[in-house]
Amino acid sequence: MSRVRADEEEYWHSSKFRAFTFDDEDDELSQLKESKRAVNSLRDIVDDDDDDLERVSWSGEPVGSISWSIKETASGSTSSLDGRDSSLQKGSSSYAALPKQASSYSLSSLFKGDGRESGFLCTTHLCLSLSALTDTGVKNFAPELRRPKAEYKDYSSDWSPKDTVRRMQRGKVCSLERFRSLQDKLVLLDEAVAGHDGNVITAVLIFLKRTLRREILFRELEVRQVALCHLIHFLRETGEQKFLLDLLRFLDRTEEVALSQYREHLNIQDVEKRREFLKGCIGLPFSAEDTSHIQDHYTLLERQIIIEANDRHLEMAGQSELFRKYPRKASILNMPLVTTLFYSCFYHYTEAEGMFSSPTNLKKTFKIPDKQYVLTALAARAKLRAWGDVDALLTTKNWLGYTKKKAPIGFHRVVEILQRNNAPVQVLQEYVRLVEDVETRLNLATKYKCHDVVIETYRDLKDRVQLTAYKCKVERGSAEEEKINGILSNTVRN
């Protein structure tokens, strides 16, 4: 490792590369530089037969080396795939990749006078793919592009599938068009898969996809799982939804079909259309659990559209005091369920259950658990400082008509929420008192200055010491102090 270390140290100490304006790139670049140097000192590994393609000179060298590297390049020939891919097919031979010999296009001028980042990238591997573009390609895509005069030369390309794959792995471009029979194509695919290079596998797949009938392609892929995965990934990336769904259906991967299709809704901006789309998703073969979620998703959006239309109208009209006092910050469309519930508890709390926008209706429709409901409603009502509602929310009547305070979320949480909404001490106190755990109760009461609760708790605990100590925390001459004194003298008498 010593070599690496020394190298590294030298690099870390001398980071001249701070000079660039864009920081993000400069760390990357300096790293690149470092490893480039490592690569530089490296020879004949994998690519021993293609030495000049892998060897690189990097920025450590004087600029002069660029021209050197360009000379090197000139002897290396390259080609491009595009010709082959051109949509205007003329006959396969003319689409064979066209290699070219030394291009007359002056690279040194490119690098010397006006290169921007180019200086950094002076790999010897500067293949000029420009010249390899077919005429049509250039005209279609960049008509004003300057084109060098390049000499085109035919060459015999009778590589075996194996060689072809190997060449492609090395970043060279090969013509796949010569593989005409199904047999050849499949051998090629198998070779690509054996090479594990996704780039090559995908390239071969693109070729097969273009030249084979779907049924045949699907059938062959079914027994070639690795290739299949690559094609699915490719289709997903490029958004060829229809083809993807056909493939998944063919493979009988119903759940994946369903999820894939469902994913599509994210690309639909218009809510009405999105709703329609989701409706269509309900019947898809999801797992049982997921089906109910998708159904809920649809129902929720449907509700949101109704509520949104209604409320926007209300807000515009300016009739409702609630909307005037607390204008809506954003539309409710596409918000999660709990957010919607909060919204409805905020603006539509008192509505009858029959209304779509009423909280109770939401609770029923989506089977929202009690805990979640209370929590959300509490937060919404506390925000409006509607302490009466808070009280009602936490009060339950038993069948004899007695009332009792109950909080499925625990009263300490109630207190937290109220406190966050700046509830007055009188309100807070009532719920602090209901916290079951004595220690938590004391902590909360002390923290929020609910003196009465502290005093009563100490009294119940018969803790004279603490109570006496607490006396200095209440205001002198206040009712609380009197209360403490009363209790203290009371206990003396006992």
Partner 1 sequence: QEHEVEKMFTLKPGRLPPADVKNIIFFVRPKLELMDIITDNVLREDRGRSPQRDFHILFVPRRSLLCEQWLKEQGVLGSFIHREQYSLDLIPFDGDLLSMESESAFKECYLESDQTSLYHAAKGLMTLQALYGTIPQIFGKGDCARHVANMMIRMKREFPGSQNSIFPVFDTLLLLDRNVDLLTPLATQLTYEGLIDEIYGIQNTYVKLPPEKFAPKKQGEGGGKDLPTEPKKLQLNSAEELYAEIRDKNFNAVGSVLSKKAKIISAAFEERHHAKTVGEIKQFVSQLPHMQAARSSLANHTSIAELIKDITTSEDFFDNLTVEQEFMSGIDTDKVNNYIEDCIAQKHPLIKILRLVCLQSVCNSGLKQKVLDHYKREILQTYGYEHILTLNNLEKAGLLKPQTGGRNNYPTIRKTLRLWMDDVNEQNPNDISYVYSGYAPLSVRLAQLLARPGWRSIEEVLKMLPGPHFEERQQLPTGLQKKRQQGENRVTLVFFLGGVTYAEIAALRFLSQMEDGGTEYIIATTKLINGTTWIKSLMEKLEPAPF
Question: Which residues from 349-388 bind partner 1, rule CB under 8 A?
Answer: 366, 368, 371-372, 375
Q: Which stretch binds partner 1 (CB under 8 A): 138-146, 310-318, 440-448, 453-461?
A: 138-146
137 touches partner 1 by CB under 8 A: yes
Distance, in Å, from the CA atom of 101 to the CA atom of 152, rounded to the nearest integer, reads: 7
Q: Which stretch binds partner 1 (CB under 8 A): 222-230, 430-438, 457-465, 481-489?
A: 222-230
Q: Which stretch binds partner 1 (CB under 8 A): 104-112, 307-315, 382-390, 459-467?
A: 104-112
Nearer to partner 1, 129 or 254 (CB): 129
Residue choice 96, 100, 164, 166 for contact with partner 1 (CB under 8 A): 166
Q: Do the bridges between strand 395-397 and strand 403-405 make them parallel or antiparallel, or are there none, so unpaired?
A: antiparallel
DSSP-derived 3-state class of residue 347: helix
The count of other CB atoms within 10 Å of the CB of residue 284 is 17
For residue 116, the minimal CB distance to partner 1 (Å) is 4
For residue 38, the minimal CB distance to partner 1 (Å) is 7
DSSP letter (8 states) at residue 395: E
For residue 490, the minimal CB distance to partner 1 (Å) is 37
Residue choice 69, 79, 175, 202 for contact with partner 1 (CB under 8 A): 202
Q: Which stretch binds partner 1 (CB under 8 A): 211-219, 228-236, 245-253, 479-487?
A: 228-236
129 touches partner 1 by CB under 8 A: yes
106 touches partner 1 by CB under 8 A: no
Nearer to partner 1, 261 or 357 (CB): 261
Query: Which is it for the CA torsion 299, 380, 322, 315, positive or negative?
Result: negative
64 touches partner 1 by CB under 8 A: no
438 touches partner 1 by CB under 8 A: no
CA 438 vs. chain centroid, Å, equals 45
Can you say whether residue 212 is alpha, beta or left, with left for phi > 0 and alpha for psi between -120 and 50 degrees? beta
Q: Which stretch binds partner 1 (CB under 8 A): 153-161, 200-208, 447-455, 470-478?
A: 200-208
Measured in residues, the chain has a length of 494
Nearer to partner 1, 293 or 313 (CB): 293
| φ, ψ dihedrals at 176, nearest 5° | -100, -5
For residue 317, the minimal CB distance to partner 1 (Å) is 30
Check if the beta carbon of residue 331 is closer than 8 Å to that of residue 311.
no
Check if the beta carbon of residue 70 is closer than 8 Å to that of residue 121.
no
130 touches partner 1 by CB under 8 A: yes
x-marked contacts with partner 1 along 450-479 as a string, rule CB under 8 A: ------------------------------
Distance, in Å, from the CA atom of 246 to the CA atom of 213, rounded to the nearest integer, reads: 13
For residue 180, the minimal CB distance to partner 1 (Å) is 20
439 touches partner 1 by CB under 8 A: no
Structure tokens that stand for 138 in this block: 């250039």
Size of site (CB under 8 A) for partner 1: 117
Nearer to partner 1, 141 or 155 (CB): 141
Check if the beta carbon of residue 343 is closer than 8 Å to that of residue 335.
yes
Cβ partners under 8 Å of residue 309, min gap 6 = none
Q: Which stretch binds partner 1 (CB under 8 A): 198-206, 399-407, 454-462, 482-490?
A: 198-206
Contacts 24+ apart (CB under 8 A), 480-487: 480/451, 480/452, 480/455, 483/452, 483/455, 484/455, 487/455, 487/459
Q: What is the footprint of partner 1 within residues 397-416 (CB under 8 A)?
A: 409, 413
CB-count exposure of residue 383 (10 Å: 0-12, 13-18, 19+): middle
The count of other CB atoms within 10 Å of the CB of residue 320 is 12
For residue 267, the minimal CB distance to partner 1 (Å) is 6
Nearer to partner 1, 36 or 441 (CB): 36
For residue 147, the minimal CB distance to partner 1 (Å) is 10
x-marked contacts with partner 1 along 21-60 as a string, rule CB under 8 A: xxxxxxxxx-xx-xxx-xx-xxxxxx-x-----x----x-
| φ, ψ dihedrals at 395, nearest 5° | -100, 130
Q: Where are the alpha helices (DSSP H) in 196-284?
A: 198-211, 214-222, 225-238, 241-250, 254-263, 271-282
Residue choice 67, 77, 101, 118 for contact with partner 1 (CB under 8 A): 118
Q: What is the footprint of partner 1 within residues 285-314 (CB under 8 A)?
A: 289-290, 293-294, 296-297, 300
Amino acid at 453: V
DSSP-derived 3-state class of residue 335: coil
Check if the beta carbon of residue 30 is closer than 8 Å to that of residue 13.
no
Nearer to partner 1, 105 or 323 (CB): 105
Q: Where are the alpha helices (DSSP H) in 369-478?
A: 370-383, 387-394, 411-420, 425-432, 438-447, 451-461, 464-470
The count of other CB atoms within 10 Å of the CB of residue 81 is 19
Nearer to partner 1, 186 or 205 (CB): 205
Q: What is the footprint of partner 1 within residues 323-352 (CB under 8 A)?
A: 334-338
Nearer to partner 1, 120 or 356 (CB): 120
Q: What is the footprint of partner 1 within residues 240-269 (CB under 8 A)?
A: 259, 262-263, 265-267, 269
Nearer to partner 1, 8 or 215 (CB): 8
